[in-house]
Amino acid sequence: MGVATAEFDFEIPTGFRWAGTAVGIAKPGKLDLGIMSADSPCSAAGLFTRNSFRAAPVLVSIETIARTNGRVGGVVVNSGCANAATGEEGLRNARAMAVAASIAAQSRMGAREEFLVCQTGVIGVQIPAHKVLPGIEQAAGRLAATRDAFLDFARAIMTTDTREKIAWSSFESGGRTARILACAKGSGMMHPRMATMLSFTITDVAIEPDLLQACFARVINKSINCVTIDGDTSTNDSALCLANGASGVEIRRGSEALALFEQALLRVMQSIARQLARDGEGATKLIEVQVRGAQSEGAARTVALAVANSCLVKTAIYGRDANWGRIVCAVGNSGCPVEPARVTVRLGPLTLFRLGAPLPLDEDAALKVLSEEFVPIEIDLGDGDALATVWTCDLTEKYIEINGSYRT
Amino acid sequence: MGVATAEFDFEIPTGFRWAGTAVGIAKPGKLDLGIMSADSPCSAAGLFTRNSFRAAPVLVSIETIARTNGRVGGVVVNSGCANAATGEEGLRNARAMAVAASIAAQSRMGAREEFLVCQTGVIGVQIPAHKVLPGIEQAAGRLAATRDAFLDFARAIMTTDTREKIAWSSFESGGRTARILACAKGSGMMHPRMATMLSFTITDVAIEPDLLQACFARVINKSINCVTIDGDTSTNDSALCLANGASGVEIRRGSEALALFEQALLRVMQSIARQLARDGEGATKLIEVQVRGAQSEGAARTVALAVANSCLVKTAIYGRDANWGRIVCAVGNSGCPVEPARVTVRLGPLTLFRLGAPLPLDEDAALKVLSEEFVPIEIDLGDGDALATVWTCDLTEKYIEINGSYRT
């Protein structure tokens, strides 16, 4: 397992090809259109935003997965325009992109599997189809099974992201090696149920669509759905997983291989989750909030999210200020019943608040913890055995600067 | 009715005295301790934070209102220390402050009504009782029934507030004039259920405590509970209303005078609500979010709060960017079922999104609306007759600056 470094030393699963190109949707010259195409039909799993204003590509991809019983050939994606809140015209454009990508990418292989479509960027603006449709044709001509092609794809989906989010893993089963590779975008407008986030995970295991969907949903709930940047759930969030079977590793219900696959998938997606949080708009730090001693995992998660979403906690950590009162305040606001006298709060190795009362604060030691790029907060509710972990980032002037002038 | 101006031309209700003094709790020289004392026993109504970590003064004031059946003599308040998450020691200190203020203020009048206590400031720090108790004695010696004394009190409760929040009203009943006067503090950590907020409303009507409590609760639900700055509910929020009967205007259940009183009280508290939102930490604008066409007032309020709490909406308005897609996105995130094809969004006089589809945007006209200090947003859900209004402010670099270094 690994996090992408400058060297990008990952291995790609067999049987997939990628391309990224610049068609000028938002900024001239920026890669903004990507295609991922499989050489053989894939099982597809998808998890989508629960925002009531689901964007056109989300509606189209959901339709497509249902109509094909989870068998697709690839994905087309653009950044710079979310095609959300765009009415009937938006739906027609999203369908046209999926069809165009399927024809352009698959006809070269004599196949004709349907494509999924994802879009990200400004809400409420129609996609310039006169730029995108020729761009799809052009990108399809360049599809390649190389790391560079995958990186072009990973870069084509970025908006305010400052870096690619890439993670990978592999495992052995029955003497064969199976690989998992994922990339994602997402920086602001992020919150569970999903974050403003697109993620694309590919693997060469062989797995039926319904089993892949169940496994992927469990993994996403413990990874991407544990990231919050600013509490907003976008109209376009989509996490897709495509499995083409090219490794020959078969994943059957109840098998040991399924457990190995799910573990590897969880490592990959938790790495993506941490990368998303760390690259939150304007962020300088990755914050991990772990809540223990809760009556249920749901309660632990609710409390962790209340802390992770608190603007005041996030600005205090940005300012390297051990103002743990704001953490306690956020715990009290979660809506979960909490007994103050049982609560303990730790910042890294320092216990700041124990069983309802403050402890003397070692300011120098706290400043040291808060000066790191990774800041772990632990809250023990003293009320049970369940726990949950959530990732977020600090809130900085840069977030305001980015979002005060995003569209213009 | 009025909003405090530089001239502070309000009239004070009869039978109350105030003082504010600087005892050095947080910053040397800043007014940080206030006393409000009534010349005769008052009916008291109080609404308090629903945070699980209710601060010591909140617990003590709730106890006091219950024990006295809502009859008290006044309030003592400090800024600079919230006395929250401070365990048993904090409770002892809050009780000591209330008792000391009652003795110091009331013994001069031969009375001995109990006092309520409010505190605001940093969480998790013990109050320096050795400074506060002598300060109470000193302040009690200066109590005066003057506008200047009231202004000292209103200033002593401020923390990151940049200005006093003061509102007043009066009405005639049975040939007599009754007055209402309120002041409040609150700038960050503000959200309904209450905001980080202390408010003190006084009136010279005669009213029983239970009737005052019911009336005050209705008014607060349509005023202060409709303000959100940053989605955090503090440990100390308290809204108090004291009525001393000195005007001779009697307010009885079901009377016309009750209706007049409640209308006047609502005007005062809605003015306070707007002043609180406008002075949100780092704010440059007051934003009013009105949701119409909802199935219930609760649904309208939930949607309005989702928009008002969206960091992305608030930064866009700060940047004078008519990025209405973020408004639509926040509507979709509220958790209330919404039918996109029925939704219309207006910014001031401009309709940006009608019945699920975008309209052409007049950028110049939008920039004009967004350049004002007051920005009204209207969302019609097209689904019923109920409506709700919520007030918030924009989110700016200054908010980060203030909260990244509040404690230090």
This model of the complex carries an ipTM of 0.73
Compare CB distances from B315 to A86, A334, A400 and report the shortest one's residue.
A400
- Measure B69 CA to nearest chain A CA, in Å: 27
- For residue A59, the surrounding DSSP H or E stretch is helix A56-67
As a whole number of angstroms, the longest Cα–Cα distance in chain A is 71
Query: Which amino acid would we find at residue B73?
Result: G
Which H helix or E strand runs over B117? strand B115-122
pLDDT at A5 over 50: no
Q: Coil, helix or strand for B399?
A: helix
**Which candidate, A399, A400, A376, A372, places its Cα nearest to that of A389?**
A376
Specify whether the CB–CB gap between B289 and B392 falls below 8 A.
Answer: yes
Contact B223, B265 (CB under 8 A): no
pLDDT at A335 over 90: no
Asked if A203 contacts A24 with a C-beta cutoff of 8 angstroms, the reply is no
Q: Which two tokens stand for residue B181?
A: 């006067």
pLDDT confidence bin for A1, thresholds 50/70/90: very low
- The type of residue at B76 is V
pLDDT at A249 over 60: yes
Helix/strand number for chain B, H first, E second: 11, 15
Between CA B44 and CA B65 the distance in angstroms is 7
Is B310 close to A231, i.e. CB distance below 8 A?
A: yes
Q: Which of B91, B100, B147, B150 is nearest to B119 (CA)?
A: B91
Q: What is the pLDDT of residue A407?
A: 54
Can you read off the two tokens belonging to residue A372? 């790191």
Cα–Cα distance measured from residue B403 to residue B19, given in angstroms and rounded to the nearest whole number: 29
Among residues A261, A292, A287, the alpha carbon closest in space to that of A273 is found at A287
Distances (CA, A) of B216 to B22, B98, B211, B252: 31, 23, 8, 14
In chain B, whose CA is at the least distance from the CA of A55?
A: B329
What confidence score (pLDDT) does residue A141 get? 94
Chain A contact set for B235 (CB, 8 A): 325, 328-329, 332
Nearest to B83 by CA among A48, A360, A160, A358: A358
Distance from CA of A359 to the nearest CA of B (A): 9
Instruction: Work out the burial of residue B172: count CB atoms within 10 Å of its CB; fewer than 13 is exposed, 13-18 middle, 19 or more buried.
Output: exposed
DSSP H or E segment with residue A318: helix A311-318
The Cα B394–Cα B58 span in angstroms is: 29
Q: How far is CA A71 from CA A38, A217, A360, in A?
A: 11, 17, 60
Rounded to whole angstroms, the Cα distance separating B219 from B224 reads 8
Residue located via tokens 């004709």: A112
B232/A310 Cβ within 8 A: yes
Question: B301 vs B105, B295, B397, B403, CA distance in Å?
Answer: 42, 11, 28, 27
Structure tokens at A61: 């991809």
**Residue of A198, A298, A289 lying closest to A238 (CA atoms):** A198
Kindly tell me the burial class for residue A89, based on how many C-beta atoms sit within 10 Å of its own C-beta (0-12, 13-18, 19 or more): middle
Using DSSP's 3-state secondary structure scheme, residue A306 falls into: helix
Instruction: Give the contacts of A323 (CB within 8 A, at least 6 positions apart).
Output: A312, A316, B122, B123, B124, B406, B407
Task: Write the DSSP string, B46-104.
Answer: EEE---SS--HHHHHHHHHHHHTTSEEEEEEEEEEE---S-HHHHHHHHHHHHHHHHHH
Relative orientation angle of helices A297-308 and A311-318, to the nearest 10 degrees: 60
Sign of CA dihedral A200, A205, A210, A211: negative
The bridge status of strand B198-203 relative to strand B238-243 is parallel
CA B256 to CA B161: how far, in whole Å? 37
With CB atoms and an 8 Å threshold, state whether B400 touches A325.
no
User: Which range is least confidently modeled, A242-246, A357-361, B11-15, B191-195?
Assistant: B191-195
Token output for A152:
């072009």
**Cβ-contact A61, A117 below 8 angstroms:** yes
In DSSP terms, which residues pair with A86 in a beta bridge?
Answer: none
Query: What tens digit of pLDDT does each residue of A42-71 get?
Result: 999 998 888 888 899 999 999 999 999 999
What pLDDT does residue A233 have? 62
pLDDT at A245: 92
Could you give the maximum distance between any two Cα atoms of chain B, in Å?
Answer: 71
CB-based contact B236:B57 (threshold 8 Å): yes
Cβ separation of B323 and A53 shorter than 8 Å? no
Residue B401 CA, chain-centre distance (Å), reads 23
Give the closest of A54, A318, A330 to B400, CB-based.
Answer: A318
- What is the amino acid identity at position A198? L
Q: Residues A290, A388: contact at Cβ < 8 Å?
A: yes
From A304's Cα to the closest Cα of chain B, the distance in A is: 14
Residue range A139-146: mean pLDDT, rounded: 95
Report the chain A residue with the minimal C-alpha distance to residue B402.
A315
Q: How far is A10 from chain B (nearest CA, A)?
A: 35
Told to judge if A86 belongs to the known catalytic residues of this protein, a careful annotator would answer no
Closest chain B residue to A86 measured between Cα atoms? B357
Q: Are A247 and A169 contacting, i.e. CB atoms less than 8 angstroms apart?
A: no
CA B10/CA B2 separation, integer angstroms: 8
Owner of token pair 């053989």? A40
In this complex, the residue of B309, B328, B404 whose CB is nearest that of residue A123 is B328
B232, B321, B408: residue with CB nearest A407: B321
Interchain CB distance below 8 Å, B399 and A86: no
Q: Which of A232, A317, A320, A395 should be substituted to probe chain B, the one whose Cβ sees the most B Cβ atoms within 10 Å? A: A232
Distances (CA, A) of B398 to A312, A321, B122, B382: 13, 17, 19, 37
With cut-offs at 50, 70 and 90, classify the pLDDT of residue A192: very low
Residues of A in contact with B329 (CB under 8 A): 51, 53, 84-85, 123, 189, 232-235
A394: closest CA of chain B, how far (Å): 10
Report d(CA B307, CA B303) in Å as an integer.
Answer: 6
User: Across A107-243, where does the E strand assignment appear?
Assistant: 115-122, 165-173, 176-185, 198-203, 238-243
Ordered per-residue pLDDT tens for chain B, 408 residues: 344 444 467 889 999 999 999 999 978 899 999 999 999 999 999 988 888 888 999 999 999 999 999 999 999 999 999 998 888 999 999 999 999 999 999 877 777 899 999 999 888 889 999 999 999 999 999 999 999 999 999 999 988 788 888 999 999 999 999 999 999 887 666 554 444 678 899 899 999 999 999 999 999 988 888 887 666 666 777 889 999 999 999 999 999 999 999 999 999 999 888 888 888 888 899 999 999 999 999 999 999 998 998 888 999 999 998 888 889 988 988 888 899 889 999 999 999 999 988 899 899 999 999 999 999 999 999 999 999 999 999 988 888 888 887 554
Query: Which of these is catalytic: A196, A203, A235, A344?
Result: A196
Report how far residue A307's alpha carbon sits from residue A328's, in angstroms, rounded to the nearest whole number. Answer: 8
CB pairs under 8 A between A and B: 223
pTM of the model: 0.79
State residue B5's pLDDT score. Answer: 42
d(CA A81, CA A118): 10
pLDDT of residue B175: 93
Asked whether the beta carbons of residue A53 and residue B353 sit closer than 8 angstroms, the reply is no
Question: Which candidate, A330, A302, A297, A215, places its Cα nearest to that of A261?
Answer: A215
**Count of beta carbons in the 10 Å neighbourhood of residue A234:** 32
Contact residues on chain B for A328, CB-CB shorter than 8 A: 53, 84-85, 123-124, 235
B370 vs A2, residue with greater confidence: B370
Predicted confidence at residue A85, as pLDDT, reads: 86
CB atoms within 10 A of CB A42: 32
The torsion angles phi and psi of B86, rounded to 5 degrees, stand at: -120, 10
| CB proximity list for A69: less than 8 A, separation 6 or greater | A209
Among A122, A188, A230, whose Cβ lies nearest the Cβ of B325? A122
Q: How far is CA B397 from CA A313, A404, B187, B282, B385, in A?
A: 16, 10, 15, 7, 38
Q: Provide CB contacts within 8 A for B351, sequence distance 6+.
A: B344, B345, B359
How close A229 comes to chain B (CA, Å)? 10
Q: Out of B311, B338, B340, whose CB is closest to A232?
A: B311
Closest CA to B227 of B183, B273, B270: B273
State chain A's mean pLDDT as an integer: 89
Cβ atoms A177, A197 nearer than 8 A: no
Residue B91 tokens, joined: 């409770």
Catalytic residue among B196, B228, B235, B396: B196
Contact B14, B246 (CB under 8 A): yes
Asked if A53 lies within 8 A of B358 by C-beta distance, the reply is no
Q: Note whether A321 contacts B407, CB cutoff 8 Å.
A: yes
pLDDT for res B51: 80
